[in-house]
Structure 1
């Protein structure tokens, strides 16, 4: 078996539908505000504020659909948002939990360490979310054999190792 060096997120069709829908709603809101501006709606600052909100929705749609991503390696987690990568070392993670994401009902993994704020990893937008979650738990388990996997996540995925980055547990 070839050794896996990294697992990269793959966007699903649902991701693109959500992104295009968000961009459409943002453009609709911006167009509505431009029409209200031209008709002289008062107060003008409210029209500008909602127009900017519409443009922000367009940018969020672009990020959701094309600029975001996730990469898991045996020692690092990389999260891309708005085209910029943030890198997290997995060495000091002591516990991991799983939550339901408010947007789309997907899974969100929370990495907890004593010396820093929790890191939330949203997996809702990826077609290979299960593999990403297993790869992340495998990488965390390789860094810390006493990793605490909270019961909610353990019931959903099981206990590492899963065989993505490490040898799979043999069943007795």
Structure 2
């Protein structure tokens, strides 16, 4: 019996550059807020608020660079964020759209389920973002051959199957 295939995200150099950039900006903001606190800047709550924003930026950089990932199998999508994996079964997805990711301009797929639920799949700056997207669309197409791809996503990637997780259509 053949083991089911899976496509797993691979971090690129750009992933690490963005992550380190976020961490450096967060640390700089924390340092500025600490200096402002020591100088007695009023109101104190504003210094605390911006300091917490800096801490959040550091944590976001750590997640972006080392604790996030994706795994696509023919039956499930697994998304890792802050070290935790969430698993989403694929059969109930009816449509897919593509958006720009706010963290650096990568693509983000939005899976629209029959219950009205939307799952955002950030492809960000993974080295294999193209095969990840194609593998996910192949897996969705295997579960639902009437899968609806929004026009801008179809223009960018084409129509499944792509041959990553599903056999490619032969052209006759």
TM-score range, shorter chain: over 0.9
Q: Tell me what 2:142 maps to.
A: 142
Number of matched pairs: 171
* CA distance in 1 between partners of 2:145 and 2:105 (Å): 30
Q: Tell me what 1:131 maps to.
A: 131
Q: Tell me what 1:34 maps to.
A: 34
Following superposition, the deviation at residue 4 of structure 1 comes to 5.8
Q: Tell me what 1:164 maps to.
A: 164
* CA deviation vs aligned residue, 1:71-113 (integer Å, no higher than 9, x gap): 0000000000000111111010011111222332221111011
The secondary structure found in structure 1 opposite 2:117 is strand
* CA distance in 1 between partners of 2:151 and 2:53 (Å): 39
* CA distance in 2 between partners of 1:63 and 1:116 (Å): 28
Q: Tell me what 2:75 maps to.
A: 75
Q: Tell me what 1:102 maps to.
A: 102
CA-atom RMSD, angstroms? 1.3
Partners of 1:4 and 1:164 within 8 A in 2? no
* CA distance in 1 between partners of 2:37 and 2:92 (Å): 53
Structure 2 unaligned runs (5+)?
A: none
Structure 1 unaligned runs (5+)?
A: none
* CA distance in 2 between partners of 1:30 and 1:103 (Å): 20
Q: Which runs of 4+ in 1 moved over 3 A?
A: none
The secondary structure found in structure 1 opposite 2:93 is coil
